């Protein structure tokens, strides 16, 4: 990911509707799995650390993280997070069976990630009976050349492809659902319009993450938060992201 994208993420991650909504969903998942205050949690590919900070404040202080870029680790430390290092998901610098829950949020699609190697490493550091929580972008046809070049990611997934990848690594998928279903038509219209109306990619591409009017931001968050309530009882059959919750055998 481009260095300036880390700064943008750091500045917006605490308030931007997409991050707020996703992080609230992830906290619900941790609580549902019974992750308590004594649990060890890893955020693999933690970016600028807002998800870690929310887990620390709401679930457990024993939250660790790493990011491929030193920029990410620097911003994590600015949030007061100390259990941080610079590393790759392809070679995780922690002991086997170390964590009760491992999160990997929008990392698998990154160009620097070797999918099977990364998944093997993620499963390795989950303790027997523990959980891997993975979020990945859905649908190849939603690829945006400008956005994905800026964030260093060129893969998106179907449920079947993600399930096939996970199935190679001896971990049970206990739940798989789409996320952001209500906003999929708007996201699709926007991405497809970019594809056909603006095909230029500059030398300094920018992602779609940028400030928006507070009223619009709050409205979008409330839409996602309503979905969060539905997700407590139902899986969503479509949406711009996929959430997989997996359990490592005892």
pLDDT tens digits, one per residue of 191-216 = 888 777 655 555 556 677 889 999 99
Quick count: other Cβ atoms within 10 Å of Cβ 93? 11
pLDDT higher than threshold 80 for residue 80: yes
pLDDT (0 to 100) of residue 208: 77
**Residues 64 and 82: beta-carbon distance below 8 Å:** no
- Residue 199 has a pLDDT of 55
pTM of this structure: 0.93
Helix (H, G, I), strand (E, B) or coil at 90: coil
Work out the angle at residue 201's Cα, subtended by the Cα atoms of residues 198 and 206, and round it to the nearest 5 degrees: 100
Higher-confidence residue of 152 and 66: namely 66
Residue 147, domain CATH:
3.40.50.150
Q: pLDDT of 149-183, one tens digit each?
A: 666 778 999 999 999 999 999 899 999 999 999 99
User: So what's the pLDDT on residue 97?
Assistant: 98
- Read off the tokens for 123: 């499963």
Report strand pairing: 126-137 vs 241-248: antiparallel
**In terms of residue numbers, what domain contains 164?**
3-248
Q: Rounded to whole angstroms, how far apart are CA atoms 236 and 161? A: 17
State mean pLDDT over 23-41.
Answer: 98
Across the range 69-89, mean pLDDT stands at: 95
Number of domains the chain contains: 1
């Amino acid at each position: 990911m481009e260095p300036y994208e880390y700064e943008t993420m750091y500045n917006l991650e605490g308030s931007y509707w997409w991050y707020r909504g996703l992080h609230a969903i992830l906290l619900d998942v941790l609580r549902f799995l019974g992750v308590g205050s004594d649990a060890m949690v890893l955020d693999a590919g933690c970016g600028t650390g807002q998800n870690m900070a929310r887990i620390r404040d709401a679930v457990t202080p024993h939250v660790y993280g790493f990011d491929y870029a030193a920029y990410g680790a620097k911003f994590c430390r600015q949030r007061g997070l100390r259990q941080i290092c610079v590393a790759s998901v392809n070679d995780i610098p922690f002991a086997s069976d170390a964590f009760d829950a491992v999160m990997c949020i929008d990392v698998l699609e990154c160009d620097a990630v070797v999918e099977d190697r990364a998944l093997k490493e993620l499963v390795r550091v989950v303790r027997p009976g523990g959980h891997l929580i993975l979020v990945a972008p859905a649908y190849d046809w939603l690829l945006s050349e400008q956005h994905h070049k800026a964030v260093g990611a060129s893969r998106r997934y179907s449920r079947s492809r993600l399930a096939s990848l996970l199935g190679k690594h001896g971990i049970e998928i206990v739940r798989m659902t789409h996320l952001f279903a209500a906003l999929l038509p708007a996201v699709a219209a926007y991405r497809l319009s970019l594809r056909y109306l603006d095909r230029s990619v500059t030398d300094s591409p920018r992602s779609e993450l940028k400030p928006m009017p507070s009223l619009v931001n709050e409205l979008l968050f409330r839409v996602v938060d309503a979905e969060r309530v539905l997700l407590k009882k139902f899986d969503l059959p479509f949406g711009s992201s996929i959430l997989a919750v997996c359990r490592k055998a005892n």
